[in-house]
Amino acid sequence: MGRINILNNVINTATNQVEGFCIVKSAAVRSNVKGSDYLDLVLGDAGGEISAKLWDYSIEQHGVYQPDNIIKVRATVNIWKDTEQLKIDRIRPAKDGEADMSLLVPCAPLDPEFMYSEIIKRTEAFSDNDLRMLTQYILREHREQLLRYPAALKLHHAMRGGLLYHTYTMLRVADGICDIYCQLYPALSRELVSTGIILHDVAKVPELTVGELGLAAGYSTPGQLIGHINMGVAIVERAAAELMIDPGTKELVQHMLLSHHGVPEYGSPKGPMFPEAEIVSQVDVLDSRMFEMYDALAAVNDGEFTERQWALDNRQLYKHGHR
């Protein structure tokens, strides 16, 4: 286990007392040899986990705590069997918005509100009214979840706000591509590319089971039975019907969602059949692989190789150190 961040927040050096916010990883009421109840906890944050004890525990005085609760504690750091452990002196639930989530769970490096706003601004500039209405309708319908949802259970962008971050970086990459190819091929639709990117993974929202912490605990039943590609097509179908979107435009958008994984073995029943769909698919692969590569390389020193990366065709990666 890594060193939990709260251990750095010393408020009394004489007593080795610390204070801060944590996530409850596990909680159990137990009895000591004298028959008194105590609360046996594992607390965590973005830095790691630590065991903690609240002696002389009572529900009436201290409350009830469950996994994924965000709490504030004041505690004394003790050493038990050569391992740091917390003796809790004070405990309470955190108030809404009180804790810095970036210190508690892995978070996207950009503020979700900023990314969401930038993506909405992109759609507001669309000259195609159907694409503008469709993207804004779906974005606003899922706004609350998009601000915290990861893009995956374990692989690329599996962090709080990771879904928006993946979408936002894809849009930026596609801008550079479209800057070149729109000059070479004026028929290429930048707005269609942007629409495909914005909506390609929106059905990760119903596909994943995600709590308030913004981390995926698993796949939902429809996520396992149907998957985000097919559910995304259904989301577009319903929204297009309500907005009376042109059927031809709707079908182009649905095709980009169906084909964004490229080949059947990765879940796409159709390969990209027009240039904008090809760009969406290729940028999706590039962005996910760049994330996986730099995430793996962060764990090794210059001149070293990573372990084999299952998500990258079982390749080892080399950290060259060249800047």
84 and 133 fall within a common domain: no
Point out the domain boundary residue: 86, 101, 116.
Answer: 101
Residue 46 sits in a domain whose CATH number is: 2.40.50.140
Cα-based distances in Å from 162 to 183, 195, 231: 32, 18, 19
The whole-number average pLDDT for the span 283-287 is 97
* Chain Cα centroid distance, residue 151: 5
Contact between 259 and 283 (Cβ < 8 Å): no
Q: Token pair of 153, please?
A: 């259970």
pLDDT band at 1 (very low <50, low <70, confident <90, very high): very low
Full-model pTM:
0.86
162 and 21 fall within a common domain: no
112 and 190 fall within a common domain: yes
As a whole number of angstroms, the distance between CA 232 and CA 138 comes to 10
Share of the chain above pLDDT 70, in %: 99
Per the domain annotation, does 319 fall within a domain? no
133 and 47 fall within a common domain: no
Average pLDDT score over the chain: 93
DSSP count for the chain of H helices, then E strands: 11, 8
The whole-number average pLDDT for the span 83-112 is 92
127 and 222 fall within a common domain: yes
pLDDT band at 303 (very low <50, low <70, confident <90, very high): very high
pLDDT at residue 32 in the model: 87
274 and 155 fall within a common domain: yes
Per the domain annotation, does 311 fall within a domain? no
Contact between 178 and 193 (Cβ < 8 Å): yes
44 and 175 fall within a common domain: no
Phi, psi of 190 (to 5 degrees): -60, -35
72 and 179 fall within a common domain: no
Point out the domain boundary residue: 74, 101, 128.
Answer: 101
Per the domain annotation, does 258 fall within a domain? yes
Q: Name the residue with higher pLDDT: 200 or 156.
A: 200
The whole-number average pLDDT for the span 305-310 is 92
As a whole number of angstroms, the distance between CA 253 and CA 238 comes to 13
Question: Domain range spanning residue 199?
Answer: 105-297
pLDDT at residue 267 in the model: 73
pLDDT at residue 300 in the model: 92
Point out the domain boundary residue: 101, 131, 146.
Answer: 101
203 and 260 fall within a common domain: yes
133 and 29 fall within a common domain: no
The total domain count for the chain is 2
Q: Which helix (H) or strand (E) holds 144?
A: helix 143-146
The whole-number average pLDDT for the span 278-295 is 96
173 and 213 fall within a common domain: yes
Q: Which tens digits make up the pLDDT trace of 122-167?
A: 999 999 999 999 999 999 999 999 999 999 988 889 999 999 999 9
120 and 235 fall within a common domain: yes
SS3 62: helix
pLDDT band at 33 (very low <50, low <70, confident <90, very high): confident
